[in-house]
Amino acid sequence: MADQKKLLRALAGEVQDTPPIWMMRQAGRYLPEYRATRAQAGDFLSLCYNPELAAEVTLQPIRRYGFDAAILFADILLVPQALGADLWFVTGEGPRLSTITDQAGFDALKPVEAIHDTLNPVYDTVRILSRDLPDDTTLIGFAGAPWTVATYMIAGRGTPDQGPAHLLRETNEPLFAALIDRLTDATIEYLSCQIDAGAEVVKIFDSWAGSLNGAAFQTYAVEPCRRITAEIKARHPGIPVIGFPREAGPAYEGFARATGVDCVALDNSVDPAWAATHVQRDGCVQGNLKSSHMVTGGQALIDDTRRIVDAFSKGPHIFNLGHGITPDADPENVQLMIDTVRGA
């Protein structure tokens, strides 16, 4: 295969002796070097918008562990901010945003062309990374899926059941659909600029896809992902797309066919044996070790890691966690997972 990077080979459908590996939130608070750089930046958003320091934290887990891919350090909520929403992070609690609940709130959003004024530093981070990453490490860009980003814009924060977003969808669907459309267009432009700057793969995070079902899942999870993927592939032939409709359950089946993504990322509620039959038959899958093993370690980590590697060994697979690594994880357990996957 012309491109020798292990992660790109898996995305192209190659079955390998051992799968490539990276980890969601691999640059994060479980690493002392991340905490030091974050302190130097001041706060989380200042870190996201500082290209040198954002590139530094992206590189830290690559230096420490030699993962097969680096994921750009940024956040899915930078897009709402670039569209004009206020955004801040409350330590120990999470993100807060100004809310959109009516037409006036929507009308106050900036046009899609304006997002680059805010997001330019992110493209600079990508440029630095594409220069500084080791030759065999793939650079992944990303964005939130429109539904997931909309849930934060409507509620102004993370919510356990995405209630406010569902309420707006049910009571004012034209407004809700207009917001999804604006986010879909902004996401296409944002990912496209990441690719122009050097991202080799893009991933679409739909963390709250699991709370949509039936026709709503089709309209607000599948269709935006299909539109983003089609446009990215039209503008950038050959760039692979990873979709992550987290907690989609049975709707993982057929997601790649319906959206055109090259790889479906699986959360850890999915049985790997089921997914090998029902999802991997359409192409590459990514996942899906539960993050809590990074806290607890030991033989259970080893057994579960082997079970996942074995289940997916007959098709293209990228090893990953089922969701982001948590701040209380032990960095030594990450090494144990990598050694187990690579058979060391």
Contact track, ligand CP3, 258-287, x by CB under 6 A? ------------------------------
For 129, list phi and psi in degrees, rounded to 5: -65, -40
Q: How far apart are CA 198 and CA 129, in angstroms?
A: 8
Three-class secondary structure of residue 132 per DSSP = helix
- Least spacing, CB of residue 237 vs ligand CP3, in Å: 25
Count the helices and strands in the chain (H runs, E runs): 17, 9
Determine how β-strand 94-97 pairs with β-strand 201-206: unpaired
> In the set 51, 80, 95, 316, which binds ligand CP3 (CB under 6 A)?
95
Q: How far apart are CA 285 and CA 126, in angstroms?
A: 25
Contact track, ligand CP3, 74-93, x by CB under 6 A? -xxx----------------
End-to-end CA distance of the chain: 25
290 makes contact with ligand CP3 (CB under 6 A): no
- Least spacing, CB of residue 326 vs ligand CP3, in Å: 8
Q: How far apart are CA 47 and CA 60, in angstroms?
A: 14
Q: How far apart are CA 15 and CA 61, in angstroms?
A: 25
Contact track, ligand CP3, 298-327, x by CB under 6 A? --------------------------x---
- Least spacing, CB of residue 239 vs ligand CP3, in Å: 17
Residues in a beta bridge with 89: 95
**Chain-centre distance for alpha carbon 253:** 19
Contact track, ligand CP3, 218-257, x by CB under 6 A? ----------------------------------------
> CA-CA distances (angstroms) from residue 3 to 8, 98, 314?
7, 44, 21
> In the set 138, 162, 207, 305, which binds ligand CP3 (CB under 6 A)?
207
Q: How far apart are CA 247 and CA 204, in angstroms?
A: 14
- Least spacing, CB of residue 24 vs ligand CP3, in Å: 5
Which is nearer to ligand CP3, 27 or 83 (by Cβ)?
Answer: 27
Residues in a beta bridge with 264: 243, 285
> In the set 30, 205, 255, 312, which binds ligand CP3 (CB under 6 A)?
205
| Contacting range for ligand CP3; rule: CB under 6 A; set: 9-17, 67-75, 103-111, 127-135 | 67-75
Which is nearer to ligand CP3, 97 or 276 (by Cβ)?
Answer: 97
Which is nearer to ligand CP3, 188 or 276 (by Cβ)?
Answer: 188
Which is nearer to ligand CP3, 26 or 192 (by Cβ)?
Answer: 26
User: What's the token pair of residue 64?
Assistant: 């420490």
- Kindly report the three-state secondary structure assignment for every residue of 7-21: HHHHHCCCCCCCCCE
Of 269, 265, 272, 321, which Cα lies nearest the Cα of 294? 321
> In the set 73, 123, 220, 252, which binds ligand CP3 (CB under 6 A)?
73
- Least spacing, CB of residue 75 vs ligand CP3, in Å: 5
Total site size for ligand CP3, rule CB under 6 A: 20
- Kindly report the three-state secondary structure assignment for every residue of 275-310: HHHHCHHHCEEEEEECCCHHHHCHHHHHHHHHHHHH
Q: How far apart are CA 150 and CA 320, in angstroms?
A: 26
Contact track, ligand CP3, 18-57, x by CB under 6 A? ------xxxxxx--------x-----x-------------
187 makes contact with ligand CP3 (CB under 6 A): no
* Contact status, residue 232 vs residue 239, Cβ threshold 8 Å: yes
Per CB under 6 A, residues contacting ligand CP3 are 24-29, 38, 44, 71, 73, 75-77, 94-95, 142, 158, 205, 207, 324
